[in-house]
């Protein structure tokens, strides 16, 4: 009887331990599930947060790229106007230089008449407009610029440089459009600036020709006197070379204007603007 009671007590104690262990394991399992779920929720929250942040940043960059490209279109329109006026100036330079070679004249009266008809010497007003030099005051220094002017090319590139510096140019998805923008502002513009440099070299040689004549004179001589009276073969050769180099500048600028216009039309199509000439 006593043995039976002991066995019964052992069984009860064992059952109690099993129940206690089951409850402990259940508690631990619930604890693990709870914190696993919390971890998953936190992880998903962080992941969603990063995703939203990334999407927001991508949207911001896309909007910024679009804004800069839209502004670039406006810059190109301004550059088209500038290039067309610059081309007119170069063509006037070419006509005057040909007239000089044909007539063999560099006297003041002849040069003023030519420039009045085909002006290219200019300055800029406060509002950005051109003012061509056609007054008597403008012609006081005639021989300092009339046959030594190379006409510096200086279009606006603020917004293109902003696209490059910010890295937003790389965000343009169309690779052909991206390459077209880069080419117009680098490779194709380079042809214009190279020919500008060639004309500048020639202009400096013409100026040096006159200065050498002054330095070699036995008495003081003005540039007006030298250009008017000393129209010799070396000067004619320089002016013939000048005609050729002005022609190169005209040709490269015409090509560049076509490239600018094509890029403008592509960007205008992208933003739903009207195509065609600006």
- Using one digit for the tens of pLDDT, what is the confidence trace for 149-194? 999 999 999 888 888 888 878 877 788 888 999 999 999 999 999 9
Average pLDDT rounded to a whole number, residues 95-124: 96
Percent helix, percent strand, percent coil in the chain, to nearest 5: 80, 0, 20
| In contact, 152 and 129? CB cutoff 8 Å | no
Q: What per-residue confidence (pLDDT) applies to 30?
A: 65
- Check pLDDT > 80 for residue 62: no
- Phi-psi domain of 272 (left: phi exceeds 0; alpha: psi -120 through 50; beta: other): left
- Check pLDDT > 90 for residue 197: yes
| In contact, 120 and 200? CB cutoff 8 Å | no
| In contact, 159 and 50? CB cutoff 8 Å | no
* Domain boundary assignment for the chain: 62-270
Give which of 69, 118, 125, 73 is closest to 95, Cα–Cα.
118
Residue with the bigger pLDDT between 166 and 48: it is 166
- Cα gap 213→161, rounded to integer Å: 45
Residue with the bigger pLDDT between 76 and 46: it is 76
Q: What per-residue confidence (pLDDT) applies to 198?
A: 96
Number of Cβ within a 10 Å radius of residue 156: 13
Task: Give residue 278's pLDDT band: very low, low, confident or very high (50, 70, 90).
Answer: very low
Give which of 260, 216, 208 is closest to 234, Cα–Cα.
208
Helices 233-270, 175-185: crossing angle, 10 deg rounding: 150
Give the HSE-up count for residue 229: Cα atoms under 13 Å, Cβ half-sphere.
8
- Cα gap 77→249, rounded to integer Å: 21
| In contact, 195 and 245? CB cutoff 8 Å | yes
Residue with the bigger pLDDT between 31 and 242: it is 242
Task: Give residue 53's pLDDT band: very low, low, confident or very high (50, 70, 90).
Answer: low
- Using one digit for the tens of pLDDT, what is the confidence trace for 226-276? 999 999 999 999 999 999 999 999 999 999 999 999 999 988 887 655 444
| In contact, 229 and 217? CB cutoff 8 Å | no
- Cα gap 81→83, rounded to integer Å: 6
Chain centre distance of CA 80? 13
């Amino acid at each position: 009887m006593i043995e039976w009671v002991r066995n019964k007590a052992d069984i009860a104690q064992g059952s109690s331990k099993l129940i206690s262990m089951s409850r402990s394991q259940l508690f631990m399992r619930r604890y693990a599930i709870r914190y696993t779920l919390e971890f998953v929720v936190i992880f998903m929250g962080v992941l969603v947060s990063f995703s939203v942040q990334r999407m927001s940043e991508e949207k911001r960059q896309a909007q910024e790229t679009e804004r800069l490209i839209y502004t670039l279109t406006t810059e190109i329109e301004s550059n088209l106007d500038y290039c067309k006026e610059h081309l007119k100036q170069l063509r006037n330079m070419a006509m005057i230089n040909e007239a000089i070679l044909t007539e063999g004249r560099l006297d003041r009266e002849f040069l003023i008449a030519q420039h009045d008809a085909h002006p290219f010497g200019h300055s800029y007003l406060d509002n950005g407009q051109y003012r061509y030099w056609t007054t008597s005051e403008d012609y006081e220094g005639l021989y300092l610029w009339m046959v030594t002017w190379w006409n510096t090319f200086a279009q606006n590139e603020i917004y293109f440089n902003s696209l490059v510096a910010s890295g937003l140019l790389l965000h343009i998805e169309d690779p052909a459009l991206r390459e077209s923008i880069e080419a117009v502002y680098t490779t194709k513009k380079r042809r214009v600036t190279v020919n500008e440099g060639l004309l500048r070299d020639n202009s400096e040689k013409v100026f040096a020709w006159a200065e050498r004549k002054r330095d070699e004179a036995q008495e003081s001589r003005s540039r007006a006197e030298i250009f008017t009276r000393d129209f010799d073969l070396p000067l004619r050769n320089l002016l013939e070379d000048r005609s050729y180099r002005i022609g190169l500048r005209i040709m490269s600028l015409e090509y560049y204007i076509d490239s600018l216009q094509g890029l403008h039309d592509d960007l205008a199509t992208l933003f739903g603007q009207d195509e065609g000439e600006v």
